[in-house]
């Protein structure tokens, strides 16, 4: 796994050992950032369930002003820190070692994110808990984009009832990215 583009282009990233994380492949990461590339400059990015930090590091490398990385795994957090040092992007980052909901509560009032990326363990509905919290949170604006990675079969029909609008879905072989934002009043 490597950084695809930007200031840290081609730097190899470490990944945590074992099966506790599913690092996003270079091809999927490239596809994702091709969709985001024109809106990343100077943005504030949140990488929830960060694993190796590959998504947030790619955002920083491509011009995001800052990124907060959150993971509850000790090895994952150490991996994120090592990768930030290797890419020389640590000065633009904060790393939190806790679960996602605890991190959101701690971040409230300190940040307002332009992008929130979440890739939680599949099948546990952690993304639904995070989206429920963010629906009324000051951590995002109506213009903020939330990107949820889930397995292909995951039912996300609850998004509308939580006040979210789906902008697009990008399907891959075994998973998908869902791009949503808060419903805007007319």
Within a domain: residue 38? Answer: yes
CA angle 145–167–1, rounded 5-degree value:
60
Within a domain: residue 14? Answer: no
Q: Give the model confidence (pLDDT) of 18-42 as tens digits.
A: 655 666 777 888 889 989 888 899 9
By residue range, what is the domain housing residue 102? 27-182
Q: How many domains are there within the chain? A: 1
Predicted TM-score (pTM) above 0.95: no
Within a domain: residue 136? Answer: yes
Q: How far apart are the first and last CA of the chain?
A: 43
Q: 63 and 42 in contact (C-beta within 8 Å)?
A: yes
Within a domain: residue 69? Answer: yes
pLDDT at res. 40? 92
CATH code at 70? 3.40.50.150
């Amino acid at each position: 796994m490597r950084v695809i583009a930007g200031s840290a282009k081609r730097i190899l990233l470490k990944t945590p050992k074992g099966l506790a994380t599913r690092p996003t492949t270079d091809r999927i990461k490239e596809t994702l950032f091709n969709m985001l590339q024109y809106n990343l400059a100077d943005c504030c990015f949140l990488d929830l369930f960060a694993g190796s930090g590959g998504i947030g590091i790619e955002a920083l490398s491509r011009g995001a002003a800052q990124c907060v990385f959150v993971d509850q795994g000790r090895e994952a957090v150490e991996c994120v820190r090592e990768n930030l040092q290797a890419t020389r992007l640590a000065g633009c980052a904060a790393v939190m070692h806790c679960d996602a909901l605890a991190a959101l509560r701690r971040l409230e009032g300190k940040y307002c994110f332009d992008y929130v990326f979440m890739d939680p363990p599949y099948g546990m509905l952690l993304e639904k808990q995070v989206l429920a919290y963010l629906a009324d949170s000051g951590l995002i604006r109506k213009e903020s984009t939330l990107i949820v990675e889930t397995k292909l079969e995951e039912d996300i029909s609850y998004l509308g009832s939580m006040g979210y609008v789906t902008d697009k879905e990008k399907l891959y072989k075994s998973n998908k990215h869902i791009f949503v934002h808060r419903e805007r009043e007319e």
